[in-house]
Structure 1
Amino acid sequence: MFKKFILLFSISVTFVACQDIEKSEKPENLIPEEKMVDVITEISLLQSARNFNKRIFENTGIEGQEYVFEKYNIDSLQFKRSNDYYADNYEIYQRIYDSVKHGFERMKVKLDTLQKQEQRLKDSIAEAKRDSLGKVKDSLNPEEEREIEEISDSIINEKDSLDRLVNDSLPEPMSRN
């Protein structure tokens, strides 16, 4: 009988304890959803970079979250309160993380495209260098032969343009894509 009482008592206490979970109140300085997507995306990217090669990341001197907070003009308390509020509202939080996930997928497609373009350029340069005759046929005009140097120069210029494009552009915030 005593065992049944203990079991019933523990179930009752558990049930009552779970009923009084406090939800976070909406903070006065709540970070908007779109901005929260950008902040979480950048924090995730910085954490991934740190986890990928911690030593190199630490040598950059970048403090991950502090950098993001400064960039978006927020502070850690504002982020925590906003994150807690959104976490208590599952539908909104799910929407935020779905947006982050889709943003990463778009970034991956862009990076894959850039990698394919770079590989095509490398292959073109290698093919031009392999030609032992010193001349290659123009694929658009087979009767016309051009010097390898001329082709290599145009390929290298194309590669430089691609490199500048990649190096000059940082990932845009997800709300702008």
Structure 2
Amino acid sequence: MYKYLTLFFSVTLFLCGCKSDSVPSKFIQPKQMTGLLIQIHLIDGSLYNGLQGGDSLYKYGMGKYLAAFKKFNTDSAQFRKSMQYYASEPDKLFKIYDSVEVRIKTMSDSVNLAQNKQRMANQKADSLKADSVRKAMLRPKTAAQKADSVKQAKIRESVMARKADSLKNDLAKQAKIRRAMNSKIDSAKKLKHRKKLNAVPIK
């Protein structure tokens, strides 16, 4: 009799334990919930890092969240009810978030590693380019290159000379115009002065 009672209580405890670990089918299951929460956190990060306004967050963010729900075969209503359920079961929620944290850290480490590799590759390419330019500048010029340099220098001198002549001519024109205007002003002043003298009555 004692043996049967022991067996009965053992089976009962086992069934109770199984029941406490299971999640009702009407809620999102732990594995699916883990993937969905990861997706939601990634969307949150992408939206807020973009420094978008409130309207943009609602317009573009809502579409991304709905796409995430569709990807995991659920919707916002079931997600909300599932979160309420897991909030009432802290142990299950903590297990899910432990998995979420580990997977997000792994993804972040992978992204950082790829970015570091790309940055090092860019720095190496820039260094090689700078060395190539420096060597090209230090390399002795050929006769053709020297002739071309002299030709370019003469062209620059010719251009500068034409600009100087043009500026000189412009200044001369402006000076001539100023002299003509001053002459007209002086003539006007003299005419006005004569009119005043003629207007004085003779006593």
Instruction: Give the TM bin, normalised by the shorter chain.
Output: 0.5 to 0.7
Amino acid at match of 2:81: R
Partner of 1:13: none
Amino acid at match of 2:82: S
- The change in CA–CA distance for 1:89 and 1:80 in structure 2 (over 3 A counts) is same
C-alpha distance in 2 between matches for 1:61 and 1:80: 20
What value does the CA root-mean-square deviation take over the aligned residues? 2.3
Amino acid at match of 1:30: F
Partner of 1:104: 104
**Higher helix content, 1 or 2:** 2
C-alpha distance in 2 between matches for 1:133 and 1:49: 44
C-alpha distance in 1 between matches for 2:118 and 2:50: 24
| TM-score computed with the length of structure 1 as normaliser | 0.55
Partner of 1:35: 32
Partner of 1:46: 43
Structure with more contact order per residue of length (Cα contacts < 8 Å, sep ≥ 6) = 1
How many pairs does the alignment contain? 109
Local SS of the residue matching 2:33: helix
C-alpha distance in 2 between matches for 1:54 and 1:125: 32
Kindly state the Cα deviation for residue 54 of structure 1 after the two structures are TM-superposed.
4.3
**Mapped pair 1:74 → 2:74:** yes
- Point out the structure with max Rg over C-alpha: 2
Matches within 5 A, 1:78-93: 78-93=78-93
C-alpha distance in 2 between matches for 1:78 and 1:117: 41
Gap regions ≥5 residues in structure 2: 1-22, 137-203
| TM-score computed with the length of structure 2 as normaliser | 0.48
Gap regions ≥5 residues in structure 1: 1-25, 135-177
Local SS of the residue matching 2:52: helix
Q: Is the 8 A contact 1:87 1:93 kept in 2?
A: yes
Local SS of the residue matching 1:111: helix
Kindly state the Cα deviation for residue 55 of structure 1 after the two structures are TM-superposed.
2.7
Kindly state the Cα deviation for residue 27 of structure 1 after the two structures are TM-superposed.
4.5
C-alpha distance in 2 between matches for 1:81 and 1:124: 53
Identity of aligned residues (%): 23
**1:133 aligns with one of 127, 132, 135:** 135
